[in-house]
Amino acid sequence: MKRTVTHLADGRELIYFDRHDDADRSAVDTRTLPPPPQASELRRDRLLGEWVTIAAHRQDRTHLPPSDQCPLCPSTPGRPTEVPSADYEVVVFENRFPSYSGRAPEHPDGVVPGLGRCEVVCFSPDHDASFATLDLAQVGTVMEAWADRTAELSTLPGVRQVFCFENRGAEIGVTLAHPHGQIYAYPFVTPRTERMLQVARAHREETGGDLFADVLADERAAGTRVVAANDLWTAFVPQAARWPFEVHLFPHRKVPDLSALSAEERTAFAPLYVDVLQRLDRLFGVPMPYVSAWHQAPVTADRDLAYLHLQLFSTRRAANKLKYLAGSEAAMGAFVNDIYPEDAARRLREAT
């Protein structure tokens, strides 16, 4: 894998990932850009004990531009974009409108800065592609980029957790239609991760077992919620799914993060994940909006408790209906699902 590091006109880092060593990545960003924004602000919710990020500069981020003005497509003569090259395989760059960055404010005056990093991962140069349409070699390149960035971002001062994810579809809130994901390097451990690790610790103390491994073993043994599997991964609908269509993908070997996966595990992930994504798209005959979230171990704490897995879920509950986070979910965090997980798994298995 060839890895080429360069910089955009405002100093942000950009990294090309190529399967071929002869890829020419000498193109230069010719735009005139303002300097990147300083770090956001962290505020502590005193009632919940959780961090909230205030990033007011993101209010001005690019929002659903027409395809001929997409900033994630390769550059063309007369129209430079965020990617200077005329083509690319997979490219990663610092987000122009980051929730977290390493650019600390000059005069914080008691403010807790949101130090960290936010990156954009472009999965393909094809504006009309989707992750489900990528060939398996391309998925492998994305996996290499995720692993590379997880390892590197984990070394940044103050970073506590690295989160690779994809939001797909306007129904989810995507502001750019080009196939891409993001990576957040948080300066704290996120609430969901903290809660999962608390439950995993209690499970180990009570049973001596590993929570995640036990859940995986139970789902594989029952089989009723398994959607698809191969020798190294299993995709299943969780027993208490919160979302209408939610699938978790677990490697059979416990590892803390993406960078710890073996070459064989990375290769085996690609066909299974693409298969699940295609099943989601076939379910209602329309592109399925979804969030695809990699749950990784914190950088320095509880790495023995965590178990890498992917959570994939959609807000679509019927061909013409979406699930919205209304009173119970949004205000109280108490989810109500309209679809039995076993029925969701069956429908996905049958979506061939």
Question: Which residue numbers are catalytic?
Answer: 180
Q: Which amino acid is at 336?
A: V
Tokens of residue 13, six digits? 């880092």
Phi-psi region of 98 (alpha: psi -120 to 50; beta: other; left: phi over 0): beta
- Contacts of 22-31 with CB under 8 Å at 24 or more apart are 23/89, 24/85, 25/85, 25/88, 27/75, 27/84, 27/85, 27/86, 28/84, 29/80, 29/84, 30/80, 30/84, 31/80
3-state secondary structure of 324: coil
Q: Contact, 179 vs 165, CB < 8 A?
A: no
Within 13 A of 298's CA, how many CA atoms are on the CB side?
A: 19
